[in-house]
Amino acid sequence: MNEEDLTRYLDESVDPAEMVAALPEPALTELADALYRNLDTPSPAFGAHTWYAQVRDELGMRRLTGRADMQPASNDRAPGETAGSEVPAG
């Protein structure tokens, strides 16, 4: 991942928690590496620490639960997606 790719993640209009949760583990690992390298510079990018903390926590949670590539639950909807029809009880 180059600096330009990393800069797209650090854009303030992107919510780190939502983005990190949606990434597959290989992309998440690559992002963690790029953020770590950025934080190890004399002038890390603004927001890199917040992103790194989100990525670290997400990777840790996935490894603790044994789910390397978490998929949204079937009742989760993407932004703007409407809910399916409900089945009446009884």
In a domain, 90, yes or no: no
- Compute how many other C-beta atoms are within 10 angstroms of the C-beta atom of residue 6: 17
Number of domains in the chain: 1
In a domain, 71, yes or no: no
Q: Per-block average pLDDT, block size 10, for the chain (90 residues)?
A: 82 83 92 94 92 94 74 43 48
| pTM score | 0.67
In a domain, 2, yes or no: no
In a domain, 82, yes or no: no
53: its two tokens: 């903390």
Q: Could you list the residue range(s) of the whole structural domain that residue 33 is in? A: 16-65
In a domain, 20, yes or no: yes
In a domain, 80, yes or no: no
Q: What is the pLDDT of residue 41?
A: 94
58-80-84 Cα angle (round to 5): 95
Alpha helices, H only, the chain = 3-9, 16-22, 25-39, 48-65
In a domain, 3, yes or no: no
Q: What is the pLDDT of residue 76?
A: 42
In a domain, 56, yes or no: yes
